[in-house]
Amino acid sequence: MKNHVFRPLFVVIGLVVIVLIIRVFYVPKDFGVHERGYMYGWYREGNIEEWKTQVKVKYQGKEYCSGCHADKVQAIDKTPHAIIQCENCHGPANDAIADHPSEQRPKLIIDKTRAHCLRCHAKLHYPSSGRAQIRGIDPDKHNPDIECVMCHNPHKPSLEGLK
């Protein structure tokens, strides 16, 4: 090859090397995906405590729900949906709800739309993310005109959970 090909190639390779060297010094060591992987994406692990002081937590977690709904939590813990927090489907039980006495708490809005179920159950194949382990459907072929909850009980998501 002639010099007019080598010179730009060396410039590009040199720039890539410079960027990689700068990255080693500029990007903190604790920046990455960490143990929960695809759920949270890239973040700096050392920044977690700082974010806790800045951002008010909206989600209470499954433990909070089990205080009043122990039977539902125990039932769902025996199903494939056990890995999903209650608030993924029922919405956040944030402080506005948590501050009320249990008998006066407003009901959480339950999204029963087909689109909500398809967030997880649309047929997608991402073998490295754990997404391939979730049973998916083709929304255009699988009962396209009705909501999923008309046939399926999300608290009993296995085949015997069909209504």
Domain boundaries, given as residue ranges, for the chain: 3-54, 59-110, 111-163
Q: Give mean pLDDT, residues 38-66.
A: 76
- Do the bridges between strand 31-32 and strand 43-44 make them parallel or antiparallel, or are there none, so unpaired? antiparallel
The DSSP string of 103-149 is GGPPPPPP---HHHHHHHHB----TTTTGGGS--B-TTTS-TTS-GG
**How confident is the model at residue 16, as a pLDDT?**
97
The pLDDT, as a whole number, for residue 39 is 60
pLDDT in tens, 90-108: 877 776 666 666 667 777 7
- For the purposes of burial, counting CB atoms within 10 Å of the CB of 20, is it exposed (0-12), middle (13-18) or buried (19 or more)? exposed
Strand partners, 43: 32
Overall average pLDDT of the 47-71 stretch: 79
Mean pLDDT of 105-120: 80
Three-state SS at 18: helix
pTM: 0.53
For the chain, give the percent of residues with pLDDT over 70.
78
The pLDDT value given to residue 131: 63
Contact 15, 30 (CB under 8 A): no
Residue with more model confidence, 49 or 104:
49
pLDDT grade for 65, boundaries at 50, 70 and 90? confident
